[in-house]
Amino acid sequence: MVAGAGRLRLGTHQSWLRHQYARPTKTALDVFTERFGVCRDFQHLAVTLWRALNIPARYATGYLGDIGVPASPSPMDFSAWFEAYLEDRWWTFDARHNQPRIGRVLMATGRDASDVAMTTSFGVANLRQFTVVSEQLPQQQASNG
């Protein structure tokens, strides 16, 4: 299965990526050489590598809940992942997490993060509060509705 092969390709660089801090000027090459970054950085690198293999890839952004994973002390936040076009459809991949995740709420896709910025501000902009809650529906309810 092509998607399985894709997961193997993703796994080759995923193990050394570690969540650190963001910087607005970080490139895919910076992530590759520095070997750390945030979810946006990981996805930019993954998209770059897949495109280098001539596999169509796009950046995706939205919310990623904590369904099916151990509770985290930090609240859910914006997240990034990427999609690759394999077997006549787009498949979701995440270069940040080493395990499959459920509960993604897709907001937008684009060539990179600049195409799909959640917010753009000029000058000081202090976010005072932000809360997103996601809950898994019971299987029967989810399939009926």
- Per-residue pLDDT of 100-117, as tens digits, reads 888 888 999 999 988 998
Say what the pLDDT of residue 97 is.
77
Q: What are phi and psi of 108, to 5 degrees?
A: -165, 155
Which pLDDT belongs to residue 117? 84
Q: How confident is the model at residue 143 (pLDDT cuts 50, 70, 90)?
A: low
State the chain's mean pLDDT as an integer: 80
pTM summary value? 0.75
**Is the Cα torsion angle 89, 95, 98, 104 positive or negative in sign?**
negative
Mean pLDDT within 86-100: 89
Higher pLDDT, 15 or 75: 75
CATH of domain 2-144: 3.10.620.30
d(C-alpha 44, C-alpha 30), whole Å: 10
Strand partners, 58: 83
Q: How many other CB atoms are there within 10 angstroms of residue 118's CB atom?
A: 12
C-alpha 18: how far from chain center: 14
Q: At residue 122, what is the residue type?
A: F
Per-residue model confidence (pLDDT) at position 71: 73
**What residue type is 8 in one-letter code?**
L
The full DSSP string for 15-64 is TT--B----TT--HHHHHHH--B-HHHHHHHHHHHHHHTT--EEEEEEEE
DSSP assigned state of 67: T
pLDDT band at 17 (very low <50, low <70, confident <90, very high): low
